Amino acid sequence: MSIAESCSNMRQLKATHAVFITNGLHRNNFAISKLLAFCALSDAGDLSYTSLLFTQISEPNSFIYNTLIRAYSRSSQPKLSLHYFHLMLNDDTLCPNHHTFPSVLVACANASCVIFGKEVHNWVLKNGLASSDHIQTALIRFYLGCKVLEDARKVFDEIPRLDVVQCNVLMNGYIQLGSASEALSVLQDMLISEIEPDEFCVTTGITACADLGALVQGKWIHEYVKKRKELLSDVFVGTALVDMYVKCGCIDSAMEVFERMPERNAFPWAAMIGGFAHHGYARKAISYLERMQVEDGLRPDGVVLLGVLTACTHAGFQKEGQFLLHNMEARYGVVPKHEHYSCVVDLLCRAGQLDEALVLIRRMPMKPLASVWGALLSGCRNHNNVDLAEVAVKELLQMENSDRAEEDGAYVQLSNIYFAAGKREDAGTVRKMIGDRGLKKNTRLQYDRGGWGGCMNLANLFRKRGTWSETVGREGLRSEDLDSCFEKLMVFACGGMGGTKMGGVGMITDWKVIPMELLLR
């Protein structure tokens, strides 16, 4: 059978198959299973040829069925995996095993077959296979894949002896589905159960803190990381910490973590430069762009360069932003994409250079997407440029792939621009078109409990009192009434995440009775 195992492409496999047919080996399950495994599971295989091989097998065994079920479960045709599972069930000589069900559950998730997946779950319970670690993990993945979070958590809670893999799967699922607070609760459960989190769980926990803006919990996890050298030296843990501090407004702490990392790849550099962009530190972003090449010998990719362009946009560095865009390919080997052009169009519009922004759009080597014209339209609104706004709207409406939301947004913006320019008749015409399209303007969010109404115009309040500065960041909040207003804002935010009390900005306090800082000691 060495000839079958030596196949590296479909041409060799088909030649081997011909030899098998000539010598009568195509009826031998062991021989044909070697070919079938290559076709089904190898990157160089061919699933359609796998089905052909299957039709030539008179009595397929469990290995052959499991191979087909596994292969199709991750393909673009997951329902074929369930088809072969049904064939296996109809064979009285065979019985699905712990190798079968994980792939079947993957197929159910990918095919959105929630009801059938639950039937598989019941079958597993009735046949005493629920104690298998692989099946337990597969069940959690299945329910997460179908966005049935309660059942995923129920399976997790019923596992008598949890392992790190199962915890990591559930935490990742919560993060992907926007339930970051639940991901942190899983980390807390691990610590209560004295399960030592690995680098993946810790990274996910830090990511949850970043998503929630939970600075206090993020600091607790950081202190835990410092006690374990293998975590402290992990580049992904370090990158997650940088990102967490950036999103919580602590740019200095992010820089401190970054500078102390023993090893850095492109990810922490991208996170740090993106942080500078978020906080408007254009000079820092540009200097770190040079540093990543000099210190670590890394070439920036499109994401990093977009971060630098964004920083230039926020800081109003027009010349630097334009220079970077025009030299991206020559200097860094990165071909500018729509998002890079959109960023520079926004930069030019903020500087009042709307005509120059239009020239840049016209000179793009590819057809501009809605994001590019949308950036120009926003600039037209800010500078009351009716003529260019009409051009931008016309281009947006003529786009082949524009969706209803983009078109509605363009009409609304044009109406506002007409109204601001005193062209009430034109504004009325556009608003009538909006009404004919059935678009209703959303009312602004109102919230009376806890004084939320006083927080609705928080940004404007900062500007009027002169207490917010993009260059000093969070330290720019000085007055007690602003702190009180911000606390009300955070209380409201935590109300939507399961929190009810605040011990400070970014602190969510009611996940469990036992405080996390005690568990992380």
b/e code 228-265 from CB counts within 10 Å (16+ = b):
eeebbebbbbbbbbbbbbbbbbbbebbbebbeebeebe
Angle made by CA atoms 31, 34, 38, in degrees to the nearest 5: 150
pLDDT at 222: 97
- The answer to whether 274 and 307 have CB atoms below 8 angstroms apart is yes
Of 79, 80, 83, 84, the closest CA to residue 64 belongs to: 84
What's phi and psi for 362, nearest 5 deg?
-65, -25
Count, in order, helices (H) and strands (E) of the chain: 30, 0
Taking the C-alpha atoms of residue 88 and residue 100, their distance in angstroms, rounded to an integer, is: 10
pLDDT at 39: 86
Sign of CA dihedral 387, 358, 311, 402: positive
pLDDT at 12: 84
pLDDT at 163: 92
The pTM of the full predicted model, rounded to 2 decimals, is: 0.76
Compute how many other C-beta atoms are within 10 angstroms of the C-beta atom of residue 153. Answer: 20
pLDDT at 6: 64
pLDDT at 4: 55
pLDDT at 428: 81
> What is the four-CA torsion angle of 455, 461, 463, 468, rounded to 10 degrees?
-60
pLDDT at 230: 94
What does each C-alpha distance from 434 to 70, 243, 376, 439, 440 come to in angstroms? Answer: 51, 41, 21, 6, 8
The contacts of residue 371 (CB under 8 Å, 6+ apart) are 338, 339, 342
Q: In order along the chain (521 residues), what is the average pLDDT of each group of 10 residues?
A: 66 85 75 82 84 85 93 94 95 92 97 96 92 95 97 95 95 96 94 93 97 95 95 96 96 97 95 94 95 94 96 94 95 95 96 96 93 90 89 81 67 80 80 70 39 39 41 42 49 42 42 48 55
pLDDT at 9: 82
